[in-house]
A and B are shown apart, each in its own frame.
Chain A
């Protein structure tokens, strides 16, 4: 086995360990009250954390595009329209602001 294949398999195992361990953490746990409030917040908190550096610290174009995208999303636009708004506005804003 080459060291490249070894590295890929190591990465694959490490990644699968992170994916498979979540459900085991929750086994036998009764989810209610404060714990339920905390877990309900987990998906939006993680989604926000993934994109926060892009939309807050990359540049003005990305930050403005994020605001426009959020505004369109809040008007209950379909997801495709929301994504297109983000993509088109970031391209235009980068042209204008650079």
Chain B
């Protein structure tokens, strides 16, 4: 097996549990989108080109007739603004990967494959094979489950009944532990969590992720002391 194939396989193995959790959520989203009047092709098109679960659920909340396309576009921008920070961070690990792949890699950057990539970059250089091993199965699962939900509809029940809605939180907790470096990490995570939770309660829209992320980053910058090894 070539090293690219081996890396792809490792990415696929890492992302498998996420696919199991993402499929019912895609089914649910497709069902909801169809109930708002989107035809299966439109459901597939949105999952294929937007490829961002949170933004798509918010869009279906906002969706009505006539379709408010400007509002939907602006809302997608706001819900996904965290990608700017995620991409800035991920770009530090793209040095060993050819430039021409970068636009396509960024197109496929979702929370889950980004988180796995950052975790892997703590130990080994990020490879194209590993990244696509995570991202392509995610894209295939998300698009396939969405269009299936749109066609088959309401026969699946509520993912919350099986705890699938908590799978992403649990996965992020598991990934977070890999970033743990002691009390300073606790301060960063604590400030980010409190800022995000308060923003979610008191700031309209989906700004809480960006606010939490920026507060955590500011705390890290404040706690930094000149001359220390990083």
B72's partner among A7, A18, A77 (CB-CB below 8 A) is A7
Q: Specify which chain B residues have a CB less than 8 angstroms from the CB of A44 in the assembled complex.
A: 176, 179, 185, 188-189, 192, 216
Inter-subunit contact A3/B215 (CB<8 Å): no
1/0 contact string of B159-177 vs chain A (CB within 8 Å): 0001110111111111111
Inter-subunit contact A41/B219 (CB<8 Å): yes
1/0 contact string of A50-87 vs chain B (CB within 8 Å): 11111111000010011001100110010110110111
Q: Specify which chain B residues have a CB less than 8 angstroms from the CB of A21 in the assembled complex.
A: 84, 87
What's the tally of chain B residues with a CB closer than 8 Å to chain A? 91
Inter-subunit contact B87/A22 (CB<8 Å): yes
How far does the alpha carbon of A4 sit from the alpha carbon of B38 in the complex, in Å?
8
How far does the alpha carbon of A33 sit from the alpha carbon of B213 in the complex, in Å?
19
Inter-subunit contact A4/B67 (CB<8 Å): yes
Shortest distance from the beta carbon of A22 to any chain B beta carbon, whole Å:
2
Chain B: which residue is nearest A29 at the CB level?
Answer: B88
B86's partner among A46, A52, A88 (CB-CB below 8 A) is A46
Shortest distance from the beta carbon of A14 to any chain B beta carbon, whole Å:
4
Inter-subunit contact B212/A48 (CB<8 Å): yes
Inter-subunit contact A11/B73 (CB<8 Å): yes
Inter-subunit contact A86/B208 (CB<8 Å): no
Q: Specify which chain A residues have a CB less than 8 angstroms from the CB of B111 in the assembled complex.
A: 50
List which B42-60 residues lie within 8 A (CB) of chain A.
Answer: 42, 45-46, 49-52, 55, 59
In the complex, B91 has a CB within 8 A of chain A: yes
Q: Is the interface of B mostly helix, strand, loop or mixed?
A: helix
Inter-subunit contact A23/B197 (CB<8 Å): no
A19's partner among B109, B170, B172, B177 (CB-CB below 8 A) is B109
Inter-subunit contact A3/B163 (CB<8 Å): no
How far does the alpha carbon of A66 sit from the alpha carbon of B169 in the complex, in Å?
8
Inter-subunit contact A86/B173 (CB<8 Å): yes
Known contacts A43-B118, A45-B215; is-contact A11 B76 (Cβ 8 Å): yes
Inter-subunit contact B175/A79 (CB<8 Å): yes
Shortest distance from the beta carbon of A60 to any chain B beta carbon, whole Å:
13
Inter-subunit contact B192/A12 (CB<8 Å): no
Inter-subunit contact B163/A15 (CB<8 Å): no
List which A1-21 residues lie within 8 A (CB) of chain B.
Answer: 3-21
A-B pairs, 7 with minimum CB distance: A22-B87, A86-B170, A49-B212, A45-B216, A41-B220, A10-B73, A82-B174
A-B contact pairs, 29 of them (CB 8 A): A4-B42, A10-B73, A11-B76, A12-B46, A14-B80, A16-B106, A18-B81, A19-B83, A21-B87, A22-B87, A37-B230, A39-B217, A40-B220, A41-B220, A43-B118, A44-B189, A46-B82, A49-B82, A51-B168, A51-B169, A52-B196, A52-B212, A53-B197, A53-B200, A69-B173, A69-B174, A70-B176, A73-B173, A79-B171
